[in-house]
Amino acid sequence: MIRKARVDDVVAMKQIINIYSKEELMLPRSLSEMYENIRDYYVCEIDGEVVGCCALHVVWEDLAEILALAVNPKCARKGIGTKLVLACLEDAENLGMKEVFALTYVPEFFETLGFKIVDKNSLPRKIWSGCLKCPKFPDCNEVAVLKSINS
């Protein structure tokens, strides 16, 4: 079941994210950052257990970012990541966003959902809103993907 995250989901979400961040496949998230942005997050819950999470963060009046997409490896390849991203895209449409982007090491996944690979330099607001705080900046090797939202 996909639903909006609650405060009591944060520790489980962070544990899933940590699996990937320890392998440097995604950025770690602090508990404080996750609590502060809890309204951005969706989770997938199966039998009372949070097995995945994803966030939609508004960057500008017409641009949002999908971030912190993580699924417990024991539940991988069951469509959970797709459902989480689709929930974020629906949220973006309801908010009136024109475009949604993600920075990813797995652009092929996003391409199956209609995203197109773009030059990171085409996302200047992202650079100023988040990338400057990243320990990998400016040597990030993530791929930028972008999807237009048909509102």
Q: What is the pLDDT of residues 74-133, one digit of tens each?
A: 999 999 999 999 999 999 999 999 999 999 989 999 999 999 999 888 886 555 455 555
pLDDT score at 125? 58
pLDDT score at 126? 55
| 2-148: CATH, from 3.10.20.600, 3.40.630.30, 3.30.565.10, 3.40.50.620 | 3.40.630.30
pLDDT score at 40? 98
pLDDT score at 122? 82
* pLDDT band for position 65 (cuts 50, 70, 90): very high
44 neighbors 2 (Cβ within 8 angstroms): yes
Residue 7 has pLDDT above 60, yes or no: yes
Positions of E strands within the chain: 2-4, 41-46, 49-60, 63-71, 99-104, 116-118, 143-148
What is the widest separation between alpha-carbon atoms in the chain? 42
pLDDT score at 123? 80
pLDDT score at 26? 84
C-alpha to C-alpha distance for 28 and 34, rounded to whole angstroms: 10
**Domain layout of the chain by residue ranges:** 2-148
Three-state DSSP at 20 gives helix
pLDDT score at 151? 52
What are the tens digits of pLDDT across the range 16-52?
A: 999 998 988 888 889 999 999 999 999 999 999 999 9
Angle formed at CA 111 by CA 125 and CA 82, multiple of 5 degrees: 95
pLDDT score at 54? 98
C-alpha to C-alpha distance for 67 and 56, rounded to whole angstroms: 6
Q: 8-11 long-range CB contacts below 8 Å, 24 or more apart? A: 9/41, 9/43, 9/50, 9/53, 10/34, 10/35, 10/38
